[in-house]
Amino acid sequence: MAPPPTLPDATAWEAVTRRDAAWDGKFVYAVTSTGIFCRPSCPSRRARRDRVRFYATPAEARAAGFRACKRCKPEQASVVSAAAQAVAKARALLDAAGGAPVSLAELSAATGLSAWHLQRTFKKLTGLSPREYAEARRAERLREALRVEPSVSRATYETGFGSSSRLYERAHLLLGMTPGAYRKGGAGMEIRYTIVGSPLGRLLVGVTARGVAAVLLGEDDRLLVAELEEKFPNAARERVDDGAEEWLGGLVKEVARRIERPGSPGGAPLPLDLVGTAFQWRVWQALLEIPAGETVSYQELAARLGMPTSTRAVASAVAANRAAVLVPCHRVVRSDGSLGGYRWGLPRKRALLEQERATS
């Protein structure tokens, strides 16, 4: 039951948070809320620490009643692990390149996988092509630079976005706004939040100076605060009483209105400040285009994004949504018509969809 004595839980958890393929085959982790166990490098959405148990071998995890993950296949040690290790190596190379272009041929030579195989495996395990991954990392660095560099031009220059107007436009796309706007409204991630009651339970609304960054639903205020902390570990977070601040209070009211009457038209457009990778942005944008009262399957959503074979990657970007109801991830269902999963509980998903259908 317990992890091997040589491997403390903290070390194992560290490996899991880094999805470190080097630990594959050395232990597995199981998630109590899903009943599934995974290899450390599994690309699935990371579980909460308090729901994770570590086992030295797949057999021990099975003995404790867990099932093997179908995605990372923790019992097929050698084959998947080799591919995962090649992808981990390619990621490390892209990270180390600091935004400088690395060709697929170079990655292929370094990892020993053919360009075609690497491209395919990389996408399967990370949800992004190597190029998209490099671009998303560059956008992350740009966000960071915009917080710490003294000027916008310095930040765009330092991260390689400033050298041409084409790249600057690219930065705009990746950030969802101009770097100047990002910096101006940004002041880092300072999230101020309020928790109020709603027909769907306790409602946490977190905002930055730019817009709504988080909408979370739950039963227990302490768990909502923990979820916010988990999603924004590096942000400054401050709880504010409802109504004590005009900007926050106004947004809370508007979010609450949408939760009370989902699908009903009207109301001011809500400014959103969603932090995600370039890939997640694309998926969330596609969610915003699903009209109230309608649903799509994960497959259909992937097809709309032009990536029909990447249903899993699309599904995990849907699951990474931090703005319940506003970014309508509840409108994605299984292709057999069943509801599928929902981060904030199936009864809430059902209630939202029923009300939207009734209204529209």
Shortest Å distance, C-beta 42 to Zn ion:
3
Which residue, 43 or 99, has its beta carbon nearer to Zn ion?
43
Cβ neighbours of 33 (radius 10 Å)? 10
Binding window for Zn ion (CB under 5 A); candidates: 45-53, 62-70, 84-92, 292-300:
62-70
Q: Strands 67-68, 52-55: parallel, antiparallel or unpaired by DSSP?
A: unpaired
Binding window for Zn ion (CB under 5 A); candidates: 56-64, 69-77, 220-228, 234-242:
69-77
69 touches Zn ion (CB under 5 A): yes
Let me know how long the chain is.
Answer: 360
State the Cα–Cα distance between residues 114 and 48, nearest whole angstrom.
Answer: 36
Query: Which of these is catalytic: 38, 42, 69, 72?
Result: 38
- What distances in angstroms separate CA 202 from CA 215, 219, 225, one per listed residue? 11, 5, 11
Task: Tell me which of 38, 86, 88, 313 binds Zn ion, using CB under 5 A.
Answer: 38
Shortest Å distance, C-beta 72 to Zn ion:
3
Task: Tell me which of 15, 72, 84, 313 binds Zn ion, using CB under 5 A.
Answer: 72
255 touches Zn ion (CB under 5 A): no
Binding window for Zn ion (CB under 5 A); candidates: 30-38, 125-133, 216-224, 316-324:
30-38
Q: Which residues pair with 214 in a beta bridge?
A: 206
State the Cα–Cα distance between residues 69 and 90, nearest whole angstrom.
Answer: 24
38 in catalytic set: yes
271-274 — which CB contacts under 8 Å span 24+ positions?
A: 271/210, 271/211, 271/212, 272/211, 272/212, 272/213, 272/323, 272/326, 272/327, 273/185, 273/207, 273/208, 273/210, 273/211, 273/212, 273/213, 274/176, 274/213, 274/322, 274/323, 274/327
Binding window for Zn ion (CB under 5 A); candidates: 15-23, 36-44, 54-62, 243-251:
36-44
Cβ atoms 248, 240 nearer than 8 A: yes
Residue with tokens 């699951």: 319
42 touches Zn ion (CB under 5 A): yes
Shortest Å distance, C-beta 69 to Zn ion:
3
Shortest Å distance, C-beta 286 to Zn ion:
25
329 in catalytic set: yes
Shortest Å distance, C-beta 285 to Zn ion:
27
Contact letters for Zn ion, residues 123-152 (x by CB under 5 A): ------------------------------
71 touches Zn ion (CB under 5 A): yes
Cβ atoms 320, 251 nearer than 8 A: no
Shortest Å distance, C-beta 302 to Zn ion:
19
Nearest by Cα to 325 from 273, 268, 261, 266? 261
Which residue, 42 or 255, has its beta carbon nearer to Zn ion?
42
Q: Is the dihedral of CA 89, 93, 96, 99 positive or negative?
A: negative
Q: Residues touching Zn ion: how many (CB under 5 A)?
A: 6
228 touches Zn ion (CB under 5 A): no
Which residue, 54 or 182, has its beta carbon nearer to Zn ion?
54
Which residue, 277 or 316, has its beta carbon nearer to Zn ion?
316
Query: Which of these is catalytic: 42, 69, 72, 329?
Result: 329
For 357, counting Cβ atoms within 10 Å of its Cβ (0-12 exposed, 13-18 middle, 19+ buried), the class is middle
172 touches Zn ion (CB under 5 A): no
3-state secondary structure of 318: helix
Instruction: Count the helix, strand and coil residues of the chain and give each as a percent rounded to the nearest 5.
Output: 50, 15, 40
Binding window for Zn ion (CB under 5 A); candidates: 64-72, 84-92, 134-142, 303-311:
64-72
Shortest Å distance, C-beta 125 to Zn ion:
11
Interacting residue ranges for Zn ion, rule: CB under 5 A:
38, 42, 44, 69, 71-72
Q: Which residues are catalytic?
A: 38, 329
